[in-house]
Amino acid sequence: MKIKPSKSRSLVLKKGKIKNETFKTADETIPTVSEKPVKCLGKCFDDSLSDTGNVNNTQRQLEKWMDTIDRSGLPGKYKTWIYQHGVLPRVLWPLLVYDVPMTTVESMERLASRYLRRWLSVPRSFSSIGLYSSGSKLQLPLTSLKEEFKVTKVRQLLMLRDSRDAKVREARVNIRTGRKWSAKKTMEEAESELQHGDIAGTVALGRQGLRVTTGKKWRTSNQEERRHLVQKEVRAMEEQSRMVRATSMKKQGNRLNWEGARQKKLSWNDVWCMEPQRLQFQLKPVYDVLPTPSNLATWGMTDDPACRLCGRPANLEHILSSGSVALAYGRYTWRHDKVLPVLADTLENSRKRSKRDKGGLKFINFVKAGEQSVKGSVEGSGVLGTAEDWQLRADLNGRMTFPPEIAVTNQRPDIVIWSSSSKQAVLVELTVPWEDRINDAYERKQAKYQDLVSDCQQRGWRMWCLPVEVGCRGFVGQSMWRALWIIDITA
């Protein structure tokens, strides 16, 4: 084997100090590491014998990339996409190969978050939880740099510990991440949680039946599956810490009280289709950072937090849902009347389609104790699959009259669907409340039509009363999905 001096490097240490001495072979000088640092698999080795300089270079590189994207002149959502799919993957590799302290990673994430807020046109007070949370009511297609760093370091530790090579397993490589966070401790906590999960079993949520929620078990998983389970648990632990921080926020953490609202997860396709102003309105009201008079007074930009219409403190709830003058002017009714036609058109299309297509959801006839099941009494696909003469009326463009063949009443549900042949009727009542009061609105409308439902049942009609809610900030209540499932709308 012949030595090639140009591809070799030399380093002289005397009493712990680097000496500027060189070696020669065949009258050719071997360059020192100080003169020509070595780069292998993306990691740079120089005469400092530490990763501090390379970590600082990574920070400067991230800042340079973000500044370049910011000056590109592209729309904000395109800049955000470039960060997620271009910058973030390139930053993660240096964070993997170098010993980076957690404080440095947090400073890099703060830098990225500052640019992301600017590109999404949200104020600086907008919490980073809103950018990266995967468990909140509104989820953006963005990933936390801090979370990815933790998952990357834990994955590296698992690969070294569980390697097939005995030499690698016995090397005992120490992954240093500073004093603030330990990859080894986090890995052990995640494995302990997974083992405890096998003992506790799967917990049913809400009205779920037994064995509805399934997943991989730690004790029956192989090595590769356990590695994925640990990484998933690390992400869950990070999300839990974000939720803990959110509970301490009076305004931006108020979304945790939306028990009846369904989560909204925005994909990149949703972001592309949105106008910038609409995307802003998706984000700002959820975390209460709109420039309401109350917020402007809190931010020191005005002295009067009162509403110009009624003189009361004008916070976001007052403007969107609780203003008495706005209610008298019909502003909330206008919002309700904009949502109702969309719902009515959806139900009308499903009513027409049910005559041609009987596939879909199936009802089960439960048999009471002491009775026998009747063959051939399966009720078909949803409510609409049980008959072919369904009719629909919606309270649009004037006063709707409740079908007199069902009952004579002055009450006017928003939508009535009925079948004379099977004597079945569905009442749909829409409410557009403040998201905190979705459950209250459901119970109130359920009680409002209870007497009407009882009267119709006494006349031999089979009734469904389905109150549905769409929050004033665009979040649909769980009751909407339950109602559409019963009616037989699955898409």
Q: What is the pLDDT of residues 101-157, one digit of tens each?
A: 999 999 999 999 999 999 999 999 899 999 999 988 899 999 999 999 999 999 999
**pLDDT score of 364:** 56
Residue 283 is assigned to a structural domain of this protein: no
Domain annotation covers residue 253: no
Is 82 among the domain residues? yes
* Whether residues 337 and 196 fall in one domain: no
Residue 296 lies in a domain: no
Cβ neighbours of residue 472 closer than 8 Å, sequence gap 6 or more:
320, 321, 335, 432, 433, 434, 435
Does 112 lie in the same domain as 30? Answer: no
Among 477, 110, 125, 139, which Cα is nearest to 288's? 125
Q: Looking at the DSSP assignment, which residues form a beta bridge with residue 392?
A: 417
Asked whether residue 172 carries a pLDDT value surpassing 60, the answer given is: yes
Kind and range of the H or E run holding 208: none
**What number of residues does the chain have?**
491
Rounded CA gap, 304 and 311, in Å?
A: 10
**What's the domain count of the chain?**
3
- Looking at residue 490, its pLDDT comes to 65
Same domain, 445 and 407: yes
pTM: 0.84
- Give the domain range for residue 164: 52-200+217-247
Residues 24 and 105 in one domain: no
Contact indicator for 292, 316 with CB cutoff of 8 Å:
yes
pLDDT for 260 equals 85
Do residues 367 and 397 touch, judged by C-beta distance below 8 A? no
Per the CB < 8 A criterion, the answer to whether 447 and 485 are in contact is: no
Q: Which stretches of 201-330 are DSSP H helices?
A: 223-247, 268-273, 276-283, 293-298, 316-317, 324-328
Assign residue 15 a region (left: φ > 0; alpha: ψ between -120 and 50; beta: otherwise).
left
Residues 6+ apart with CB under 8 A from 352: none
* Per-residue pLDDT reduced to its tens digit, 433-449: 999 999 999 999 999 99
**pLDDT exceeds 70 at position 491:** no
- What Å distances lie between residue 259 and 118, 202, 254, 372, 477, CA to CA? 31, 22, 11, 40, 9
Do 225 and 338 share a domain, yes or no? no
Which residue(s) pair with 265 in the sheet?
139
Structural domain includes residue 277: no
- Phi, psi dihedral angles at 19 (to 5 degrees): -105, 145
Domain co-membership, 357 together with 472: yes
Convert the pLDDT of each residue in 190-215 to its tens digit: 999 999 988 887 776 666 666 666 77
Question: 30 and 74, same structural domain?
Answer: no
| pLDDT(238) > 70 | yes
Cα(487)–Cα(345) distance, integer angstroms: 14
Which is nearest to 108 in space by CA: 157, 61, 45?
Answer: 61
336 and 462 assigned to the same domain: yes
Write out pLDDT tens, residues 28-53: 888 888 878 888 877 888 777 788 88
pLDDT above 60 (res 360): no
Asked if 106 and 235 sit in the same domain, the reply is yes
**Does one domain contain both 56 and 35?**
no
